[in-house]
Structure 1
Amino acid sequence: MCAGQGKDSSDMSLYGIGKALSRMYFSLSMRVRVIGRENIPETGPVLLCSNHISNLDPVLVGSHMKRSLNFMAKEELFENKTAGALLKRLGAFPVKRGSSDRRALKKGLGLLDDGHVLCLFPEGTRSKTGEIKSGLAGSGFFALRSKASIVPVVVIGSYKLFGRMTVIYGPPVDMDSMRARKADAAEATEMIMEHIRGLKKEHMEQSR
């Protein structure tokens, strides 16, 4: 599983155990190829923006990188107190889907301002076809309002038993010009989505 930085020792221990178990699960049940880990800055704020094909995406993306990960999860997952407490200790925080959740936006910006890694799935919901859909403006909001390095991520595969999964962390997206001219969030999100699509297209062409 994935956890956030800045946790107390018990949380970090839980994160370490969860990460080890997650990697063990993937290594035993699937053939996972990871590309571009060197594109994730070792320090400072990072915004990971990934396509979304499964509920396992946060686990797969987070368990194959060195740094700890924070991510948004739909509010409904926190309704069970026990599950909600566990998710929070693993770096998740709730977001209301279908609306502008100011509390979640403030939480995300705070994490980035403190130099942590935040993972978002701009599409908002899982793609049933595997095709990368349009992204929501939230990703662009975080990209423009923070000083984070924006790292596009693409997950390719179907999570089938003994199937092949590929995770690609792309080079950071240069957002300086958009920040300077104060572009709107929707435009910034679309730029990020173009990079995610580009990563997938490049990989598929190389795999032929």
Structure 2
Amino acid sequence: MTFYTFSRSVVKFLMKSLYRIEVEGIENIPDEGGVLLCSNHINNWDPPLVGISSPRPVRFMAKEEIFHKKVIGTIIANLGAFPVKRGMSDREALRKGLKILKNGEVLGLFPEGTRSKNGQLKEGLAGAGFFALRSDASVVPCAIIGPYKRFNKVKIIFGSPIDFTELRANKNSAEQATSLIMNEIRHLLEKYKKQ
């Protein structure tokens, strides 16, 4: 058993003892090939929730400060996460993310860059669009619907992959690509919040 598999099973047990987790759309994550998984961000539990809900291992881009904390930094690094410097263009993180996608792995991103304190979807950063345009990865939008209250329902929905053929051919900007991703996440939130 790998460290990732062991950790995933422990976190899954812990989260399912705290919340009623509902997962929809697992079939929308391709079985193979690079996948850019983009989700809204409402809580610190979001990365573990996405990780236990995805049928494939997810490698997250995480803020650099987390890696300065010895214990948690070591754990998430061993789970395949890698640091990104916030508030600036981090070329090393962009290269690392592209390499993950080109290697046929799943890259997890929270395009908003930080948690939304009021639960409302914020504007996405250009990094998500950069990865979508510069790779051939499937781009899967994801919506997390809370709140994270003990024993309450938390929903995670994986939407259908977004067709980036036209945007890639037209050499659209990273900002335009991110806007498309955020619109798809917004549609999922609006659709499933009513259910």
**SS of residue paired to 1:23:** helix
- Does residue 76 in structure 1 map to residue 58 in structure 2? no
Match of 1:174 among 147, 163, 170: 163
Match of 1:102 among 91, 97, 101: 91
Q: Distance in 1 between matches of 2:51 and 2:6?
A: 13
- Does residue 24 in structure 1 map to residue 13 in structure 2? yes
Q: What code does the residue aligned with 1:197 have?
A: R
Residues 98-132 of structure 1: CA deviation (Å, up to 9, x unaligned): 00000000000000011000000000010011111
Q: What code does the residue aligned with 1:191 have?
A: L
Matches within 5 A, 1:79-158: 79-158=68-147
In structure 2, what is the equivalent of residue 4 of structure 1?
Answer: none
| 76-85 or 106-115, which deviates more | 76-85
Unaligned runs of 5+ in 2: none
**SS of residue paired to 2:10:** helix
Q: What code does the residue aligned with 1:75 have?
A: E
**SS of residue paired to 1:202:** helix
After TM superposition, give the deviation of residue 202 of structure 1 in Å: 1.0
Q: What code does the residue aligned with 2:49 have?
A: L
Q: Distance in 2 between matches of 1:202 and 1:14?
A: 36
Q: What code does the residue aligned with 2:34 have?
A: P
Q: Distance in 2 between matches of 1:83 and 1:169?
A: 27
Match of 1:54 among 43, 50, 55: 43
| 15-24 or 139-148, which deviates more | 15-24
Unaligned runs of 5+ in 1: 1-11
Q: Distance in 1 between matches of 2:192 and 2:70?
A: 41
- Does residue 162 in structure 1 map to residue 128 in structure 2? no
> Moved runs in structure 1, 4+ residues, more than 4 A?
none
Equivalenced residues, count: 195
After TM superposition, give the deviation of residue 23 of structure 1 in Å: 1.1
**SS of residue paired to 1:138:** helix
After TM superposition, give the deviation of residue 84 of structure 1 in Å: 2.5
Residues 53-105 of structure 1: CA deviation (Å, up to 9, x unaligned): 01110100110122111011111111134432322111110000000000000
**SS of residue paired to 1:155:** strand
Q: Distance in 2 between matches of 1:79 and 1:200?
A: 33
Contact 2:145 2:193 (8 Å CA) reproduced: no
Q: What code does the residue aligned with 1:188 have?
A: A
Q: Distance in 2 between matches of 1:82 and 1:201?
A: 38
Q: What code does the residue aligned with 1:20 have?
A: S
